[in-house]
Amino acid sequence: MSGLMRLDLVPTPDGWADIALADVEALLSDHAHCEKKAATTALGLIQPFSDSPEVVMRLVRLAEQETNHLRRVLETLRSLGFSLQRDPGNLYAGLLMRQASDVVDRCIAAACIEARSHERLELLTVAFASRPDLVHLIPFFRELEACEAGHAHTYLEIAAIVHGESTVASRVSLWQQREAAAINAILPRSAIH
């Protein structure tokens, strides 16, 4: 994958992790719903890419990984004595997906969400180090954040396999601007984004 197709997102402001960790039950509940929606996004792209067996298999493997993450986040919630709260909705993902006008855009929007999740999960692993009740979660969250970085690449590659790398690369900078606007429009809360 060329450098032109790499996403370079604006950094999350300092202090975000402290706000996120103020309500761990809400944060992990939101995280579980994010994993559920990530699986759904991958499965939803099977139809537009149904003529490409290679892409379909990559999407199915991606959905399997997200479902595995969902199960393990739910187990983590339970192990901490928490329950899954209702999904309050994700304004950030909605803002991005609403701006997708075709399947290439849907893939780039999904890549942005995965890349932002990667960045925020990484920030949480750092913050867990000063929380004795959460420090045991560091290896799991390190695994998750690496996986979400891989998913961001996968979505860009999927779009490029079918529509060409130059088509994807020509839209990346616009999508970086859209992502920055969307993430800055959301007030920090106990949620991944």
List, in sequence order, the alpha helices (H) in the chain. 16-20, 24-44, 53-79, 91-98, 103-128, 138-163, 165-185
Please state the closest distance from residue 166 (CB atom) to Fe ion, in A.
25
Q: Site for Fe ion (CB under 5 A): which residue of 33, 37, 58, 69?
A: 69
What is the spatial distance between Cα 159 and Cα 161, in angstroms, rounded to a whole number? 6
Question: Applying CB under 5 A, which part among 28-36, 53-61, 135-143, 175-183 lies near Fe ion?
Answer: 28-36
Distances (CA, A) of 147 to 39, 59, 96, 108, 142: 13, 14, 21, 17, 9
Question: Applying CB under 5 A, which part among 35-43, 50-58, 160-168, 171-179 lies near Fe ion?
Answer: 35-43
Question: Are the beta carbons of 33 and 87 closer than 8 angstroms?
Answer: yes
Select from 49, 36, 177 the least CA-distant residue to 103. 49
Task: Between 119 and 148, name the residue whose CB sits nearer to Fe ion.
Answer: 148
Task: Between 122 and 148, name the residue whose CB sits nearer to Fe ion.
Answer: 148
Residue 116 near Fe ion by CB under 5 A: no
- Binding mask 95-114 vs Fe ion (x if CB under 5 A, - otherwise)? -------------------x
Q: Site for Fe ion (CB under 5 A): which residue of 5, 20, 49, 66?
A: 66
Which chain residues interact with Fe ion by CB under 5 A?
35, 38, 66, 69, 114, 148, 151
